A and B are shown apart, each in its own frame.
Chain A
């Protein structure tokens, strides 16, 4: 299965991937419309580590682990693996206990903006983009989507 990988030597910490992620999952038709989004509702599923002008930056999102500990730990059966190996969340089933946040060794699953359920990267298969928007618009090739 194709997965997202990052190259920290190419990341400048611009956080465009975070914006592209929020945009992709917003259902809006233009990114500038996110301007009115309150800071506490800005909840990307990909997070850039390292601050502005930091020596080192890189993005982190779901690794779609082969033996995903979040899937094993979910109390609701809300997290599962697809046949191809993608880790998916069913937010109708998620009760927002955040056991998954407690076990993910990458810190790649997080509370949704409303705090009522968890959210995670599903490689933009769950929105109209259909392919990872963060990868598509990274200006530096610091995020790639490929088989390894």
Chain B
């Protein structure tokens, strides 16, 4: 095979599209332990609630692999990468030779050691289509659910099962919900709305000991439950890479071309690190748009083209029960804040540039703000007073606007 891709998520699909933008005929193989057509992974909470149907969850049309000449090995797991032989070995004993290899193994749920966890019968994680289906089968109106973790996964899971269980309680050791996405003010607004919906929160606390259908928290509080979801966090799936001698820090280390330290092996998406241009640091940015851009960049480079991905911006777009939060960048520097009972807007300015923002229920045209972060536009070049009021192209110079609106972009 000219190209072998391990994984079938966003970065893998993007890699195929990147390869085919440069090379129409090279052979491509894709290996995935999930025996499914590619699907939008964040859609599992919408599938759980029934907001969308399974047939609409495909991330690309059903003929995607065929149209792109991709030989798929779905339901197959890679056991080993052998860089010296340029070969990957599958757990069923088969092997595939590669010209270029992409590792796009994504992330896996991180379940911290908790005493007695194995005694819990209905215990789930919430990362994959299979996880969602398993959870879906046990939901019932007389059951109560306990979710450990008030991050994006835990809360989207809560929304997904809302109405299908008797009660939902979310426990997090942080002092607020969505701690990695929101500051405390906006988090408090979101929590108040979710509490009003009937979701219970226990914060600054964590599970100390499970015993079948009950848990004792660190605080000594005792809870009973029927269904347990652990959503404490995720970790980059780096084990194959590490065992093959590829440099791994928090995620697989890649350069701007998505190359690892071993020739002809690339990595992209949640398993790898990216360059966060809002802070100028390398870190794992487990965010779908970045997975796409990094995967596409890898594919182009694997096929002999030239592509560089250096402007990853942390982004979050998340909604609960009709409330929407859009965030980008980092929350440092001088801040401008505006709030009403149900809306919140905070912009962060540092060294004359917009570096981050949080918008709750006031989200129209937010991408204009994001583009200022991504392009590192000096605020001296735009009318920031107008922009503080609302994102708009009027705030740009006549020339900049002409470039946006009178030419092909």
Interfacial residues, chain A to chain B (CB-CB below 8 A): 3, 5-8, 49-50, 56, 58, 60, 63, 65-66, 69, 72-73, 75-77, 90, 92-93, 95-107, 109-111, 115, 148
A3 to B60, CA, bound (A): 25
A6 to B406, CA, bound (A): 6
**Category for how many chain B residues contact A:** 35 or more
Q: Which residue of A lies closest to B313 (CB)?
A: A103
| Of the residues B14, B319, B326, B393, contact of A106 by C-beta under 8 Å | B393
Number of A-B contacts (CB under 8 A): 130
A102 to B327, CA, bound (A): 8
By the criterion CB–CB under 8 Å, are A76 and B367 in contact? Answer: no
Please name all residues of chain B whose beta carbon is closer than 8 Å to the beta carbon of A75 when the two chains form the complex. Answer: 40-43, 288
| B363 interfacial by beta-carbon distance below 8 Å | yes
A102 to B49, CA, bound (A): 24
By the criterion CB–CB under 8 Å, are A76 and B43 in contact? Answer: yes
A9 to B360, CA, bound (A): 35
Q: Please give the distance in Å from A52's CB to the nearest CB on chain B.
A: 14
By the criterion CB–CB under 8 Å, are A102 and B43 in contact? Answer: no
Interfacial residues, chain B to chain A (CB-CB below 8 A): 14, 40-43, 46, 51-53, 56-60, 288-289, 292-293, 296, 315, 317-319, 322, 324, 326, 328, 363-368, 370-371, 374, 391-394, 401, 404-409
10 further interface pairs, Cβ-Cβ under 8 Å (given A76-B43, A77-B40, A93-B57): A3-B408, A50-B394, A77-B58, A77-B59, A95-B46, A105-B370, A105-B371, A106-B405, A111-B364, A148-B408
| Of the residues B367, B394, B401, B406, contact of A104 by C-beta under 8 Å | B367
A63 to B405, CA, bound (A): 8
User: Can you report 29 A-B residue pairs in the complex whose CB atoms are below 8 A from each other?
Assistant: A3-B408, A7-B406, A63-B404, A63-B405, A65-B409, A72-B14, A73-B292, A75-B40, A76-B40, A76-B52, A77-B58, A92-B56, A93-B40, A93-B52, A98-B324, A99-B288, A99-B315, A99-B317, A100-B367, A101-B365, A102-B328, A102-B366, A102-B370, A105-B368, A106-B405, A107-B393, A110-B365, A111-B324, A115-B322
Given known pairs A56-B394, A63-B404, the reply for A72 and B363 (CB within 8 Å) is: no
Q: Please give the distance in Å from A141's CB to the nearest CB on chain B.
A: 14
Q: Which residue of A lies closest to B364 (CB)?
A: A110
Q: Which residue of A lies closest to B59 (CB)?
A: A77
A76 to B59, CA, bound (A): 6
By the criterion CB–CB under 8 Å, are B289 and A63 in contact? Answer: no
Q: Please give the distance in Å from A66's CB to the nearest CB on chain B.
A: 7
Please name all residues of chain B whose beta carbon is closer than 8 Å to the beta carbon of A50 when the two chains form the complex. Answer: 394
| Of the residues A92, A98, A107, contact of B317 by C-beta under 8 Å | A98
| Of the residues B57, B315, B394, B405, contact of A76 by C-beta under 8 Å | B57
Please name all residues of chain A whose beta carbon is closer than 8 Å to the beta carbon of B42 when the two chains form the complex. Answer: 75-76, 97
Q: Which residue of B lies closest to A76 (CB)?
A: B40
Q: Is the interface of A mostly helix, strand, loop or mixed?
A: loop
Please name all residues of chain B whose beta carbon is closer than 8 Å to the beta carbon of A101 when the two chains form the complex. Answer: 317, 326, 363-367
| Of the residues B41, B43, B370, contact of A103 by C-beta under 8 Å | B370
Which of B56, B374, B391 has the most chain A CB within a 10 Å cutoff?
B56
Please name all residues of chain A whose beta carbon is closer than 8 Å to the beta carbon of B289 when the two chains form the complex. Answer: 69, 72-73, 99, 103
| Of the residues A8, A92, A96, A111, contact of B401 by C-beta under 8 Å | A8
A63 to B408, CA, bound (A): 8
Given known pairs A6-B406, A105-B368, A105-B371, the reply for A73 and B51 (CB within 8 Å) is: no
By the criterion CB–CB under 8 Å, are B409 and A49 in contact? Answer: no
By the criterion CB–CB under 8 Å, are B407 and A102 in contact? Answer: no
Please name all residues of chain A whose beta carbon is closer than 8 Å to the beta carbon of B328 when the two chains form the complex. Answer: 102
By the criterion CB–CB under 8 Å, are B406 and A5 in contact? Answer: yes
A63 to B406, CA, bound (A): 10
A88 to B285, CA, bound (A): 27
Q: Please give the distance in Å from A120's CB to the nearest CB on chain B.
A: 12
Q: Please give the distance in Å from A88's CB to the nearest CB on chain B.
A: 13
A90 to B407, CA, bound (A): 26
| Of the residues B60, B296, B326, B367, contact of A107 by C-beta under 8 Å | B367
Please name all residues of chain B whose beta carbon is closer than 8 Å to the beta carbon of A65 when the two chains form the complex. Answer: 409
Please name all residues of chain B whose beta carbon is closer than 8 Å to the beta carbon of A49 when the two chains form the complex. Answer: 392-394
A102 to B42, CA, bound (A): 16
A111 to B406, CA, bound (A): 25
